[in-house]
């Protein structure tokens, strides 16, 4: 019963409101309460009987065309109205002349209403047919274009459906291209990881064998071997950490704890962690962040994003270049920008910069450190923090911009 009421709440509300308005209207004319009750009983009984018959008819026709159902709905409404009026008129004992006049008026009204219903049903049916023809045309083969069909002239709702159907090939093509790009990225990831694992492992094995066989006895050389072993082990550990972080991002298992922080402090800390590397490479690293810029975000994740972006900028900036970290506000959004002097990124590669294992052309891969996962991880972490990240070419290099909600 409750389910029936929920499904038909609008219908029940309209019926009750109509009855209440009818009673008020009749009472306002000064009609006796007894006459009002008789009139409502006669008209209501006839209308309910006709309406019940109409419900049976509509349930029978529910699998028919829209045109048929619209005409049936109009017919049921007219039958309900006509039966109520006729029974009420007969019960009121009006003259035969007035009764005939009423029948003439009803006949004209019913004819016009049914004709309008047929016309509306025809238009909706043609619109639905147009949408079906459009879908069949687009499904006929690759290269099918919605513009090859005549424009659809129908109700706005059907036009919206047609527009969505017409836009499906474009969206499917985008999804296909994206799937191909992801598959290509996965293959590149396997190749890069295999290379980045094999190289340090080969070095570690060769040096370990040399030390184990006492082929190297000079103290300076032994110390250099130990230093190289430690560096390769750290490189492998960093690669494993990146793979683990990427796995957590892709699986949605990040454990994020947001807190209100001053952006200047976190930028200063991130810059300080990479300053030594920048100085050893001859790259000037500087930051410009106004005081009082606060964001509500996970600190550890944002720190890693900044370190990845700054490290990437330093790695691709030649000696004598400059890497800048800047922050500004734009309304309720904080823009955090890391710019370098890498020479820019080719336009076709801009959309792939955040793909797994992407490293670009030789100009951007002069430094082979890293597993090609830093920017992918940065993008995943920024999006997990309810922000977004973008890249664009600047005068002498490129800019990575992180946008985060500002805390007022």
Q: Tens digit of pLDDT for each residue in 355-372?
A: 776 666 544 444 445 556
- 309: in domain: yes
The CA R_g of the chain, rounded to the nearest whole Å, is: 38
- 146: in domain: no
- 222: in domain: yes
Total domains in the chain come to 3
Q: Which domain holds residue 85?
A: 31-138
Lowest mean pLDDT among 36-45, 102-111, 184-193, 255-264: 36-45
**Is the Cβ–Cβ distance between 339 and 399 less than 8 Å?**
yes
HSE value, Cβ hemisphere, 13 Å, CA-based, for 380 = 21
Question: Between residues 34 and 173, which one has the greater pLDDT?
Answer: 173
- 5: in domain: no
- 179: in domain: yes
Q: Are residues 328 and 371 in the same domain?
A: yes
Q: Are residues 265 and 389 in the same domain?
A: yes
Pairing status of strand 322-330 against strand 333-339: antiparallel
Question: Would you say residue 148 has pLDDT above 80?
Answer: no
Q: Are residues 400 and 268 in the same domain?
A: yes
Which of the listed residues 222, 251, 280 is the one where a domain comes to its end? Answer: 251
Residue 390 banded pLDDT, cuts 50, 70, 90: very high
**Is the Cβ–Cβ distance between 321 and 369 less than 8 Å?**
no
Residue 254 banded pLDDT, cuts 50, 70, 90: confident
Neighbours of 133 (CB within 10 A): 14
Q: Residue 107, exposed/middle/buried by CB under 10 A (0-12, 13-18, 19+)?
A: exposed
CA distance 334 to 406: 6
Q: Residue 292, exposed/middle/buried by CB under 10 A (0-12, 13-18, 19+)?
A: exposed
Question: Would you say residue 147 has pLDDT above 90?
Answer: no
- Token pair 């969505």 is found at 164
Q: Are residues 372 and 283 in the same domain?
A: yes
- 195: in domain: yes
Which of the listed residues 251, 276, 308 is the one where a domain comes to its end? Answer: 251
Give whole-number Cα distances, 95 to 100, 101, 367, in Å. Answer: 9, 10, 104
Question: Between residues 52 and 211, which one has the greater pLDDT?
Answer: 211
pLDDT recorded at residue 28 = 64
Helix (H, G, I), strand (E, B) or coil at 64: coil
CA distance 196 to 357: 11
Instruction: Summarize the confidence of residues 189-208 as an average pLDDT.
Output: 78
CATH code of 351's domain: 3.30.565.10
Instruction: Summarize the confidence of residues 108-129 as an average pLDDT.
Output: 72
pLDDT recorded at residue 336 = 92
pLDDT recorded at residue 21 = 67
Question: Would you say residue 91 has pLDDT above 70?
Answer: no
Q: Are residues 119 and 202 in the same domain?
A: no
Instruction: Summarize the confidence of residues 58-77 as an average pLDDT.
Output: 72
pLDDT recorded at residue 8 = 57
Question: Would you say residue 282 has pLDDT above 90?
Answer: yes
Q: Are residues 123 and 211 in the same domain?
A: no
Question: Would you say residue 135 has pLDDT above 70?
Answer: yes
Residue 340 banded pLDDT, cuts 50, 70, 90: very high
Q: Are residues 243 and 327 in the same domain?
A: no
Residues 6+ apart with CB under 8 A from 342: 313, 316, 317, 318, 321, 363, 364, 397, 398
Residue 309 banded pLDDT, cuts 50, 70, 90: very high
Residue 214 banded pLDDT, cuts 50, 70, 90: confident
Q: Are residues 395 and 337 in the same domain?
A: yes
pLDDT recorded at residue 63 = 73
Question: Would you say residue 322 has pLDDT above 80?
Answer: yes
Candidates 222, 408, 402, 232; CA nearest to 326 is: 402
Helix (H, G, I), strand (E, B) or coil at 189: helix
- 20: in domain: no
Residue 283 banded pLDDT, cuts 50, 70, 90: very high
Helix axis angle, 33-60 to 9-28, nearest 10°: 150
Q: Are residues 303 and 365 in the same domain?
A: yes
Residue 317 banded pLDDT, cuts 50, 70, 90: very high
- 351: in domain: yes
Angle at CA 16, nearest 5°, toward 12 and 21?
Answer: 145
HSE value, Cβ hemisphere, 13 Å, CA-based, for 139 = 7
Residues 6+ apart with CB under 8 A from 239: 193, 196, 197, 371, 373
What are the tokens at 205? 């094995």
Q: Are residues 218 and 289 in the same domain?
A: no
Which of the listed residues 251, 272, 298 is the one where a domain comes to its end? Answer: 251
Question: Would you say residue 395 has pLDDT above 90?
Answer: no
The most confident of 72-86, 91-105, 328-342, 356-370, by mean pLDDT = 328-342
Question: Between residues 122 and 288, which one has the greater pLDDT?
Answer: 288
- Token pair 């200047």 is found at 264
Candidates 257, 386, 396, 270; CA nearest to 327 is: 270
Residues 6+ apart with CB under 8 A from 262: 291, 292, 293, 294
Question: Between residues 337 and 43, which one has the greater pLDDT?
Answer: 337
pLDDT recorded at residue 236 = 83
**Is the Cβ–Cβ distance between 227 and 212 less than 8 Å?**
no
Question: Would you say residue 325 has pLDDT above 90?
Answer: yes
CA distance 167 to 158: 14
Candidates 74, 73, 47; CA nearest to 58 is: 73
- φ, ψ (nearest 5 deg) of residue 93: 55, 45
Q: Are residues 268 and 396 in the same domain?
A: yes
Residue 19 banded pLDDT, cuts 50, 70, 90: low
The chain-wide mean pLDDT, for the chain, equals 77
CA distance 55 to 60: 9
Q: Are residues 238 and 107 in the same domain?
A: no
What are the tokens at 269? 């800390």
pLDDT recorded at residue 145 = 57
Question: Would you say residue 264 has pLDDT above 50?
Answer: yes
CATH code of 223's domain: 1.10.287.130
pLDDT recorded at residue 206 = 87
Give whole-number Cα distances, 231 to 228, 258, 369, in Å. Answer: 5, 34, 11
């Amino acid at each position: 019963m409750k389910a029936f009421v929920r499904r038909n709440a609008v219908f029940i509300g309209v019926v009750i409101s109509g009855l209440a308005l009818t009673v008020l209207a009749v009472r306002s004319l000064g009609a006796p309460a007894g006459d009002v009750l008789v009139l409502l009983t006669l008209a209501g009984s006839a209308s309910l009987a006709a309406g019940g018959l109409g419900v049976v008819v509509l349930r029978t026709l529910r699998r028919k065309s829209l045109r048929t159902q619209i005409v049936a709905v109009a017919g049921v409404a007219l039958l309900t109205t006509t039966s109520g009026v006729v029974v009420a008129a007969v019960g009121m004992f009006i003259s035969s002349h007035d009764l005939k006049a009423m029948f003439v008026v009803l006949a004209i009204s019913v004819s016009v209403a049914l004709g309008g219903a047929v016309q509306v049903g025809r238009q909706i049916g043609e619109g639905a047919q147009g949408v079906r023809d459009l879908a069949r045309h687009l499904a006929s083969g690759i290269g099918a274009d919605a513009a090859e069909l005549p424009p659809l002239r129908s109700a706005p709702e059907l036009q919206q459906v047609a527009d969505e159907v017409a836009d499906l090939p474009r969206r499917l093509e985008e999804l296909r291209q994206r799937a191909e790009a992801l598959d290509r990225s996965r293959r590149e990831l396997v190749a890069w990881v295999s290379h980045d694992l094999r190289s340090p492992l080969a070095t570690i094995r060769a040096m370990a064998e040399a030390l184990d066989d006492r082929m190297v006895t000079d103290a300076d050389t032994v110390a250099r071997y130990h230093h190289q072993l430690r560096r390769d082990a750290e490189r492998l550990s960093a690669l494993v950490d990146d793979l683990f972080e990427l796995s957590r991002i892709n699986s949605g298992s990040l454990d994020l704890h947001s807190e209100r922080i001053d952006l200047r402090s976190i930028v200063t800390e991130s810059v300080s962690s990479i300053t030594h590397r920048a100085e050893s490479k001859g790259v000037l690293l500087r930051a410009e962040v106004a005081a009082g810029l606060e964001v509500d975000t996970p600190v550890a994740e944002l720190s890693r994003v900044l370190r990845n972006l700054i490290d990437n900028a330093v790695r691709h900036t030649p000696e004598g270049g400059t890497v800048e970290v800047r922050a500004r506000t734009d309304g309720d959004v904080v823009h955090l920008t890391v710019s370098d002097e890498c020479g820019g990124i080719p336009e076709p590669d801009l959309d792939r910069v955040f793909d797994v294992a992407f490293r670009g052309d030789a100009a951007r891969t002069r430094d082979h450190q890293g597993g090609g996962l830093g920017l992918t991880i940065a993008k995943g972490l920024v999006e997990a923090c309810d922000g977004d990240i973008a890249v664009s070419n600047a005068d002498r290099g490129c800019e990575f911009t992180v946008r985060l909600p500002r805390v007022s």
